[in-house]
Amino acid sequence: MSLIPISAPEFDVDIDIKYATNDNFTGKPVYISGKCFLHVEAAECLKKAIDLAKPLGLRFLIFDAFRPSEAQWKLWEHTPDPNFLADPAKGSPHSRGVAIDLTLIDKAGKPLDMGTGFDEFTPLSHHGRTDISVEAQKNRLLLMGIMTAAGWDFYRNEWWHYQLFKSREYKLWSDKEAGTGMM
């Protein structure tokens, strides 16, 4: 398997997998487990991002990473919006283990202001917005700078979503194939 677990102490991050809770746009858990996994190559880029954020007194809070293909179908059935969700017939970078949804947190574990919440499916979530606070604009640019310097590509409609370049070249995984026990 090319997916590895993301957890402390190997990865100095906080994890709050939103799709394992009611606190997501569906209003109910999609996963039965809040485990966090990434493809080995994505995990290496995450380590680089962690190393870049640390001297700034910042860490990451992860909302989602590997998303089994069954979960992508559930999300799509709830909200079939190609501006914010990948069509599961084509496959999501999340279902390949090469995408991550996250934000920056300070030393106390408080998320930085990004202008919108995670999975707020509105134009205000797009990169480059100037109609959010200056602080939120700076924080989004800081997050983007750290992530892109660490080897991640960004998705223009979601300030929280990053994926590996050429993400479509990686294998799609179901929960059963991946053996993650998330579904």
State the catalytic residue, choosing from 10, 120, 135, 158: 158
* φ and ψ of 85, to 5 deg: -130, 140
Q: Is 158 a catalytic residue?
A: yes
The HSE-up count of residue 163 (CA atoms within 13 Å, CB side) is 22
Three-class HEC string of the chain: CCEEECCCCCCCEEECCHHHCCCCCCCCCCCCCCCCEEEHHHHHHHHHHHHHHHHHCCEEEEEECCCCHHHHHHHHHHCCCCCCCCCCCCCCCHHHCCEEEEEEECCCCCECCCCCCCCCCCHHHCCCCCCCCHHHHHHHHHHHHHHHHCCEEEECCEEEEEEECCHHHCCCCCHHHHCCCCC
What number of other Cβ atoms are within 10 A of residue 46's Cβ? 24
The set of catalytic residues is 158
